[in-house]
Amino acid sequence: MARDRNTPDRYSTALGRLMLGALVVMLLGLFLLWRIDSPRIERLRMEITDRVIPNFSAIMAPVTSAANILRSARSYTRIYQQNQELRRELQQMKAWKEAALQREQENARLLDLNNVRLDPKFTKITGVVLADSGSPFRQTVLLNVGRRDGIVDGWAAIDGIGLVGRIAGVGERTSRVILLTDTSSRIAVSIESNGQRAMIVGDNTSRPPLEFLETPETVRPGDRVVTSGDGGVFPSGLLVGQVTQTQSGRLRVRLAADMQRLEFLRVVRHQPREAIPTAGDLVGVQLPEPRGEP
């Protein structure tokens, strides 16, 4: 090959070594800086992602759609079986639909009686998934909505049915969602049947475990899990999934969201509830301070 292995290497000269040393020190410094002051570097990372990924995903759109076509083609092979299953499910669903319609009327009546006003600030922004984390040890996706669409760190992302994750990192045109399955994801939830509080702690598996339950004995598989909104950062009442039990007896959550294939995500616009700092103001009008009269 066009190379003589006996010529002295450019990088063994004094200058080369100096440059190497400088590089090593710079990289070490960058890592330590990130470890100490991670938000600033993370913002830089978000800017880079913001520049690169949207352009790239436009170029790679044919590849993505080809993969999708392949995936749907594979499902044709068992279409008969699927059809049978769907028919069966449809039968069941019809029964459910009747029940739901009755419930809906009942609900409307009760709401009318109560004069309940649902939270008007509960609106959603829909985004398309541009990219995933690309690394086996992180579970995140990148959305094509960002600061210019009003996305704020900490908001919840749902896929129409259930919670998917929370926004962590907002760029100008993109924002990153940490999925519930990521190892750094912690979401406060409550079990709907008995109102117990717990945390969902991501551990890089498709069914994250329930932690910090007070009495795990009272929780049964199949119980619905919703976000509790504890801490005031996260909206409450979003469906997360159902409790399942593993062979070893550990409680995990089967997510309601279809994590197999995330395409469109809705980001729930959420303003933290106004806190009421004092109790006295509610009771009566505050009297003027008594003047210093003798």
Among 183, 193, 236, 245, binds other proteins (CB under 8 A): 183
For residues 175 and 126, what is the distance between their CA atoms, to the nearest angstrom?
12
Among 54, 127, 131, 173, binds other proteins (CB under 8 A): 131
Among 27, 69, 152, 161, binds other proteins (CB under 8 A): 27
Joined tokens for residue 44: 């830089």
Helices and strands per DSSP (H, E), number in the chain: 5, 12
Minimal distance in Å, beta carbon 234 to other proteins?
21
Please tell me whether residue 56 binds other proteins under the rule CB under 8 A.
Answer: yes
Contacts with other proteins by CB under 8 A: the residue count is: 61
| Helix (H), strand (E), coil (C) string for 90-152 | HHHHHHHHHHHHHHHHHHHHHHHHHCCCCCCCCCEEEEEEEEECCCCCCCEEEECCCHHHCCC
Q: How far apart are the first and last CA of the chain?
A: 105
Instruction: Give, as one character, the DSSP assignment of residue 247.
Output: T
Residue placing its CB nearer to other proteins in the complex, 57 or 228: 57
**Residue 148: beta bridge partners?**
none
- The dihedral of CA 250, 256, 259, 261: what is its sign? positive
Please tell me whether residue 20 binds other proteins under the rule CB under 8 A.
Answer: yes
Minimal distance in Å, beta carbon 231 to other proteins?
21
Please tell me whether residue 13 binds other proteins under the rule CB under 8 A.
Answer: no
From 172, 159, 148, select the one nearest 126 (Cα to Cα): 159
Please tell me whether residue 262 binds other proteins under the rule CB under 8 A.
Answer: yes
Residue placing its CB nearer to other proteins in the complex, 9 or 293: 9
**What angle (nearest 5°) sits at the alpha carbon of residue 279, between those of residues 276 and 282?**
90
Minimal distance in Å, beta carbon 44 to other proteins?
8
- Determine what percent of the chain falls in helix, strand and coil, rounding each to the nearest 5: 35, 20, 40
Please tell me whether residue 225 binds other proteins under the rule CB under 8 A.
Answer: no
Please tell me whether residue 69 binds other proteins under the rule CB under 8 A.
Answer: no
Please tell me whether residue 83 binds other proteins under the rule CB under 8 A.
Answer: no
β pairing state of 239-245 and 140-143? unpaired
Among 18, 19, 69, 152, binds other proteins (CB under 8 A): 19
Minimal distance in Å, beta carbon 256 to other proteins?
15
Please tell me whether residue 248 binds other proteins under the rule CB under 8 A.
Answer: no
Instruction: Answer yes or no: are the C-beta atoms of 48 and 171 closer than 8 Å.
Output: no
Among 125, 133, 188, 216, binds other proteins (CB under 8 A): 133
Please tell me whether residue 157 binds other proteins under the rule CB under 8 A.
Answer: no
| Helix (H), strand (E), coil (C) string for 211-238 | ECCCCHHHCCCCCEEEECCCCCCCCCCC
Please tell me whether residue 72 binds other proteins under the rule CB under 8 A.
Answer: no
Joined tokens for residue 143: 């959305």
Among 63, 86, 108, 111, binds other proteins (CB under 8 A): 63
Residue placing its CB nearer to other proteins in the complex, 19 or 108: 19
Please tell me whether residue 52 binds other proteins under the rule CB under 8 A.
Answer: yes
Stretch that binds other proteins, among 60-68, 73-81, 269-277, 280-288 (CB under 8 A): 60-68
Residue placing its CB nearer to other proteins in the complex, 34 or 236: 34
Minimal distance in Å, beta carbon 2 to other proteins?
5
